[in-house]
Every structure is written in C-alpha cells, then in structure tokens.
Chain A
Amino acid sequence: DTAVSQTPKYLVTQMGNDKSIKCEQNLGHDTMYWYKQDSKKFLKIMFSYNNKELIINETVPNRFSPKSPDKAHLNLHINSLELGDSAVYFCASRRTLAGQETQYFGPGTRLLVL
C-alpha cells in the first residue's frame, strides 16, 4: 500500500539518450510535483501539476517534459540526457485544500548519466 511510488528506482544511461521516470500516488491527491536533488543534496522544485494541469514550471531545460495522464500519475520524460542531469528525482503529492499543505514524497529515482 505504497503511497507515492516511483519507477525505476535506479537508472543508468548514456549521454544523449531519452528516458522516462514514472510516478504514481494512491492517496487521492490532486497536486503532484517533481523535485530534483543535486549532488550536494540540494532539493529544488521542477514542476507541479494540479488536476493534470501544469501550475509550476521552474527554470528547467525544455529537454524535461512532465506529463500527467490522470490525477494519480505524473511522469517525467527527459530528452538528450546530459551529464549534469545526474541527480535524484523525487515525486511528491498533496491534496489542494487548506490545512492539507503537507507534501508526501516518493522514494526517489537515482539517475546516473555516463
């Protein structure tokens, strides 16, 4: 009964490849996020979707494209992978309701670009 799940957990790939990371939540939340944790463990928001609509798009290269097929899923597709994309990517979700501001995080996807 995992709340927020991500696949794959580990991803090793070559520069220039295209890859996708999937996220699913079974909490009934309507807002989902992607955060990036760099090699210094700094966490920063990348994207946020509410009811399948993009509401945050931080300064992220357009090689990164999120897609939300439904409220329970938010996938991240990355084109033309670069060395600097190596990081841990966390998916999170929350209910968009006053008093429900807590975000619940997935286990992370560790991406290594060679």
Chain B
Amino acid sequence: AQSVTQPDIHITVSEGASLELRCNYSYGATPYLFWYVQSPGQGLQLLLKYFSGDTLVQGIKGFEAEFKRSQSSFNLRKPSVHWSDAAEYFCALLNQAGTALIFGKGTTLSVSS
C-alpha cells in the first residue's frame, strides 16, 4: 500500500538552529516525492520535489531534502531556521497511477526566539 508517514506531529526549534523534518514513505517503485508548506490561513506552497537523479534536492527558502531509498525516507532540512518558517509542513507522494498526491499528516513547526 502506498502511504506517507510524518512521525513528528509538532516540533519546536530555536531561531537560528538547524531543522530536520522526517518523512517516510511506502511505495513499490521509484517514488515521486514532494514537500509543501502551509502558513497559517494560507494555501500550500511547494518547497521542493524529487523525481529522480541527484538524491539531494534544493528548494526554495533555503530548504533541502535528501532521498534515501534504503530508509524509505525523504527528510527535509534547513541549516538555520527563521521565525517566518513557523508553519505546517506536508510530505506527499504521487500515487502509483500518477493521478493524485498522498499526504502525510503534517508536522507543525514552531520557532522560539
């Protein structure tokens, strides 16, 4: 079965500290993976995506993610968090038919000063 798991419901990070948000997937073939961010009261903005090739992908706002097939993971990282990064982060997997996204339950990021 295809699924996405985000093990951390809520994470708090100090401003300026590094961040890693975890994402694990279950999928039989090479996955198409995405990270989206949802700021309070806003829509979903694409941060980055992995389709194939280089397993370390760069995104917007200084985010990067690393695809690890052996661990079925696609963790999101940022070296130095800003207060404006406080938001809900969703990892998503394109379903096998290529017709819809399967989302994880999201991780809420809080940034403390």
Which A residues are closer than 8 A to B by beta carbons? 33, 35, 40-45, 48, 55-56, 90, 92, 99, 101-108
Contact = CB atoms under 8 A, between A and B. Distances in A.
A42 B42 contact: no
B103 A43 contact: yes
A106 B103 CA distance: 16
Given A41-B106, A99-B51, A107 B99 contact: no
Contacts of A105: 36, 43-45
Binding site of A, secondary structure by majority: helix, strand, loop or mixed? strand
B99 A48 contact: yes
Interface of B: 32, 34, 36, 38, 42-46, 49, 51, 88, 90, 94, 98-103, 105-106
Contact of B99 (A40, A56, A108): A56
A104 B94 CA distance: 13
Given A41-B88, A42-B103, A101-B94, A90 B51 contact: no
Contact of A48 (B45, B88, B94, B100): B100
Ranked nearest first, the 6 interchain pairs of A and B with the lowest CB-CB distance are A105-B44, A107-B43, A45-B100, A43-B103, A105-B43, A41-B106
9 contacts: A41-B38, A41-B106, A42-B103, A43-B90, A44-B103, A45-B101, A101-B94, A101-B98, A106-B43
B49 A102 contact: yes
Contacts of A42: 103, 105-106
A33 B100 contact: yes
B44 to A, nearest CB: 4
Nearest to B100: A45
